[in-house]
């Protein structure tokens, strides 16, 4: 579950092997945004 970084790794894999550097994460929770960034997903805005 969010904000565990494994959640984001799993989502990328389930999305067909999406690349984190080509993905954007939108959320209003700072902990979730920081966790997604640890796997290379950039926040929007």
Helix or strand run (H / E) with residue 42: strand 42-43
Task: State pLDDT tens for residues 8-36.
Answer: 999 999 999 999 999 999 999 999 999 99
Tell me the three state secondary structure of residue 3: coil
Whether residue 40 has pLDDT greater than 80: yes
Q: What is the pLDDT of residue 43?
A: 86
Instruction: Fill in the DSSP letter of residue 28.
Output: S
Residue 19's domain spans which residues? 5-43
The alpha-helical segments, DSSP class H, found in 1-45 are: 5-14, 30-38
Reported pTM: 0.85
Give the count of domains, the chain.
1
Q: What is the pLDDT of residue 45?
A: 66
More confident residue, 43 or 4: 4
Residue 15 contacts residue 25 (beta carbons within 8 Å):
no
């Amino acid at each position: 579950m969010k904000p565990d970084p494994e959640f984001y790794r799993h989502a990328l894999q389930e999305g067909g092997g999406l690349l984190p550097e080509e993905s954007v994460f939108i959320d209003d929770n700072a902990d979730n945004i920081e966790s997604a960034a640890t796997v290379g997903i950039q926040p929007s805005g």
